[in-house]
Amino acid sequence: MLDSQKAFATYLKKMQALLNGQAFSFDQSLLPKVMETELVVPVIGAFSAGKSSLLNALMGKDILPVGIAPETELATELRYSSEPYLLAIKPDGVQERLPVEALSSINRRSSEFSHLRLYLDSEALKAIAPLVLVDMPGFGSSLENHNKAIAYYLPRGVHFVVLTSIEDGNITQSMLRKLDELKTYNTDFTFLLSKCNLRAADQVEDVQAYIDDQLGVYFGEHCRSITLGNRGGEELTRALTALQPDALFSRLFIDILKDQNFELLAQINLALSMLKKDKTESEQTARALEQALVKLLEQRKDVESDLKDRYSGKMLDRSLRGLDNALNDSLDELVTLGSSKNSSALSNALSDIIRSSLASTIKSEVQDISTSMVDRIASNLSATSSQMSVLDISGNWSEELSNKVKFSLERTTEMLSDWSTRLSNRAEDDKNSGVMLYRSLSTVLAVTTTVVNPLVELVIIFLPEILKMFKGGGNERETFRQKLTGEVFPNIKAELRGKIPAIIDEQLNAMLKKISDGFEEQINKQKHVIDSIAQESLQLEAQISEKTAVVENLANAVKAAANEHLYK
């Protein structure tokens, strides 16, 4: 177990002991999440970059299949176990246990599964735990399996290892799109140059210098490549160690734990304030909170009534404008692929462009819209702030409330103890229109992922029809350029214009519910504290003094635990 993991678990156990039997709210689900969360590190690259060979070198044995054609059609998680076996995971979470030898033939059943978990008796895998490496389908794999893997692991990966062969000579446009997509999700990556032993040292230096220039221009001067030679397994181990797993794990939880500690102290201070107030002031505050809950319901209905006109239409227009720009910026690349009649590569490129563009635009739009929704709801609660000032809590109660809700929405990752769990519930298939509606969102990242994933699935459905138009013409580049700009791009936008609105409306309503529930949760926490103290205020004055001392001691203990484990 990592040091940060131990510290956070110890802190949460202390909180459970301190708060046992108390009236204060505390998220009990955090402890199992801290104990069970793994650090998933997908390894991506073209099928010829040598991902599987590199991972075999790390493990010291040839386990993963390699070949001149794409061999990895399903993302494969590599995990340590004294008993080797293979788990094939279906989209609904059902698992099928198989012998390790089945790995060589499982591709024939790739449509049945979402991903694989390969358990091996490997000291190398045991040593890097809780890092879980994932052998991802290469960029040359089938469009469906490639997109399935990217959509599943993009929101789950805490860091990506990116592999490019020295023989490529540069970072391709396709790879740059994927790296940019990682940055959209605030995910860092390590860039490795493979097969450097196949080139002279001066050639390796020249290619690495050029690639480092590309990385610097697009992602900052701190971003540099690492060369891999004959000792690729050892070099990969060093690169993984440099990731500082403790720091990666800490970043997943530290802000959430600090925020919860701050919120807990606010509840305790509220209780202390209430113990000093008389019955009339307590009743006035309770009524103010009841009024806030009523206003919250009214404001939610008000926002919901103009959700479509005020938000979804603008999101649709901006998403399609951004996509149009992205497609035209990649026109030369697409013309080359179309002219060569490489329909598979063209499908992959179009899908990547669509997913990357929509992810970036929708994430930005969702963040702006969520802020707007929170501010609208909070403004309607502002009248309550003056009534809450009697508690000496804050001069702007509604603003503090909205900041807590915004923090909840802005979390950029979801700690999943079971990586088979989807960010959303099972998709419901509208058989009339083919629109996939995903529900049960919990963060801005979840909203973004859940909107984009079904769009990628739709792209897979309609791209073959669009690509048919390439089969009848000549090979002239200008002919394909005209077909792309005059037929393919408009068809893509028309298809998406028909499909996006229902998905966006569904997700905006889900986000509104999340925001409203967040406000309601915060208000109810305060109301629960006030109601509990009001009951105890009926006791004798001496007992109230004792209760005040107990609560003050609790506040000091909570602060001490946070200082020991969260603010070192």
The model's pLDDT over 92-106, given as tens digits with 9 standing for 90+, comes to: 889 999 999 998 888
Instruction: Select, from the ranges 104-113, 404-413, 432-441, the one with the highest average predicted confidence (pLDDT).
Output: 104-113
Phi, psi of 44 (to 5 degrees): -120, 160
Check pLDDT > 80 for residue 388. Answer: no
pLDDT tens digit sequence for 209-241 = 999 999 999 888 889 999 988 787 888 888 888
- 480 burial (CB, 10 Å; 0-12 / 13-18 / 19+) is buried
pLDDT, position 410: 56
Q: Is 29 helix (H, G, I), strand (E, B) or coil?
A: coil
Q: Tell me what percent of the residues of the chain surpass a pLDDT of 90.
A: 19
Check pLDDT > 70 for residue 475. Answer: no
> pTM value?
0.75
Cβ–Cβ < 8 Å for 134, 75:
yes
| Strand partners for 192 | 163, 226
List, as one string, the DSSP characters of 78-133. Answer: EEE-SS-EEEEEPTTS-EEEE-GGGGGTGGGGGGG-SEEEEEE--HHHHHHTTEEE
pLDDT, position 445: 41
What are the residue boundaries of the structural domains of the chain, listed by start? 32-243, 277-411+424-524
Q: Are strands 85-89 and 95-98 parallel, antiparallel or unpaired?
A: antiparallel
Cβ–Cβ < 8 Å for 95, 429:
no
Q: Per the structure block, which two tokens stand in for 182?
A: 């990682």
pLDDT tier at 442 (50, 70, 90 boundaries)? Answer: very low
Check pLDDT > 90 for residue 303. Answer: no
Check pLDDT > 50 for residue 267. Answer: yes
What is 32-243's CATH topology?
Rossmann fold (3.40.50)
Instruction: Report the alpha-carbon angle 265-30-133, nearest 5.
Output: 140
| Strand partners for 159 | 188
Q: Per the structure block, which two tokens stand in for 196?
A: 């450097």
pLDDT, position 342: 67
The total of other beta-carbon atoms located within 10 Å of residue 66's CB is 15
List, as one string, the DSSP characters of 491-548. Answer: HHHHHHHHHHHHHHHHHHHHHHHHHHHHHHHHHHHHHHHHHHHHHHTTS-HHHHHHHH
Distances (CA, A) of 411 to 185, 187, 372, 407: 11, 13, 17, 7
Q: What size, in residues, is the chain? A: 568
Lowest-confidence region among 62-66, 148-152, 464-468: 464-468
* Averaged pLDDT score across all residues of the chain: 77
pLDDT tier at 436 (50, 70, 90 boundaries)? Answer: very low
The C-alpha atoms of residue 388 and residue 369 are separated, in whole angstroms, by 28
pLDDT tier at 402 (50, 70, 90 boundaries)? Answer: low
